[in-house]
Copies of this chain bind each other. A is one copy, B any other.
Amino acid sequence: MSFSVRILGSGSAVPTARRNPTSQYIQCSSRHILIDCGEGTQLQMRKFGVKFQKLDIILISHLHGDHYFGLMGLLSTMHLLGRLKELLIFGPKGLKEIVDLQLKHGNGGFGYDIVFKEMDSNTHDMLFEDNKIAIRSFPLKHKISTHGFTITEKQKEAKLIKAQIEQDNVLVEHYHLLKKGIDVQLEDGNVLRSEDYTEPAPNAKVYAFCSDTAYFPEVVNEFLGADILYHEATFTDKYVDRAKATMHSTASEAANIAVRSAVKKLLIGHISARFDTGETHLLEARRVFTETYLAEDGDEIRL
């Protein structure tokens, strides 16, 4: 099953030529998900070849502008390009009011339906579930109500070993149980052992996204063992006081969260515009957690 993350914006509140404000495009199974939508996201999508009209779901972590000022423009462009498919938007209380007010004054509307769902600011929640993926939200610790998200594949059934099945003439009617890991007792007394006829499906993968947040170790239970954790890392160690004052994290703090949550890889971003590169962030994080990577606009990461 395909599962990938495209970084559309790896910057912080002040955009730069190198880093757009936060946005990520997640393709998981047949679902196409946008997390946050800073100003200029639609142009980044165009630049990196992301198809607007495939989008199913938009998740907005919080109502600081660098995480949603590109939303109205993207919604409008999808309308102008003829979108008809319903769109699901999950966001904090207030987002719908903001969209509706701008539509009212523009005397407009969209040719497709938007289903808005407001997130509860205090609890974690199952936002969306189908037979292949699940999306959950959880609260972070920031100046205003802010959420993180996990996108989780569902565990697939084991895969039949075709050669073995054919060699032993296993009947089709037994496939179902074997794939579920259940042994089958035949009428002649023989037993077909699931492990002889199947190989396990790859482990279902988990992507976790931690938007703007102060250092908040309580959060680790939300994504223990995730394959990739994206965590904001606005500042380097030198600016730890500034991080505290603005309720953001340093790269070392992000790495500390990665260690505590035993994730496989850490991806850091939301790099403040005061830094020309994120090299120092990366060095400082890797001292704490080796498997750290720095997000750059345009990067595609496969899970």
By CB atoms of chain B within 10 A, which of A47, A70, A73 has the most?
Answer: A73
Q: Inside 8 A of A193's CB, which chain B residues have their CB?
A: none
Asked whether A105 is an interface residue with its Cβ less than 8 Å from the other chain, the reply is yes
A44–B112 CA distance with the chains assembled, in angstroms: 31
Asked whether A276 is an interface residue with its Cβ less than 8 Å from the other chain, the reply is no
A40–B98 CA distance with the chains assembled, in angstroms: 19
Q: Is the CB of A106 within 8 A of B144?
A: yes
Instruction: For A70, give its contact among B39, B105, B107, B108 (CB under 8 Å).
Output: B39
**Identical copies of this chain, number:** 2
Q: Inside 8 A of A143's CB, which chain B residues have their CB?
A: 107
Given A106-B144, A107-B143, A144-B106, residue A65 in contact with residue B69 (CB < 8 A):
no
Asked whether A80 is an interface residue with its Cβ less than 8 Å from the other chain, the reply is yes
Q: Inside 8 A of A106's CB, which chain B residues have their CB?
A: 63-65, 144
Complex: chain B residue closest to A67, CB-CB? B106
A144–B106 CA distance with the chains assembled, in angstroms: 7
Complex: chain B residue closest to A100, CB-CB? B101
Complex: chain B residue closest to A95, CB-CB? B105
A12-20, A199-207, A230-238, A278-286 - the one binding chain B: A12-20
Asked whether A81 is an interface residue with its Cβ less than 8 Å from the other chain, the reply is yes
A106–B64 CA distance with the chains assembled, in angstroms: 5
Q: Is the CB of A76 within 8 A of B46?
A: no
A98–B69 CA distance with the chains assembled, in angstroms: 12
Instruction: For A102, give its contact among B17, B76, B81, B98 (CB under 8 Å).
Output: B98
A97–B92 CA distance with the chains assembled, in angstroms: 19
Asked whether A10 is an interface residue with its Cβ less than 8 Å from the other chain, the reply is no
Asked whether A134 is an interface residue with its Cβ less than 8 Å from the other chain, the reply is no
By CB atoms of chain B within 10 A, which of A13, A16, A92, A105 has the most?
Answer: A105
Q: Is the CB of B43 within 8 A of A80?
A: no
Q: Is the CB of A13 within 8 A of B80?
A: yes
Complex: chain B residue closest to A103, CB-CB? B65
Q: Inside 8 A of A94's CB, which chain B residues have their CB?
A: 101, 104-105
Q: Is the CB of B63 within 8 A of A43?
A: no
Q: Is the CB of B80 within 8 A of A73?
A: no
Q: Is the CB of B107 within 8 A of A98?
A: no
Interfacial residues, chain A to chain B (CB-CB below 8 A): 13-17, 21, 39-40, 42-43, 46-47, 63-66, 69-70, 72-73, 76-77, 80-81, 92, 94-95, 97-98, 101-102, 104-108, 143-144
Can you list 11 A-B pairs with a CB-CB distance of less than 8 A? A14-B81, A15-B42, A39-B43, A39-B73, A40-B40, A64-B106, A65-B106, A69-B76, A94-B104, A95-B105, A106-B144
What are the 10 tightest A-B residue pairs by CB atom distance, in nearest-first order?
Answer: A94-B105, A39-B73, A63-B105, A107-B144, A69-B73, A40-B40, A65-B76, A63-B106, A14-B77, A14-B80
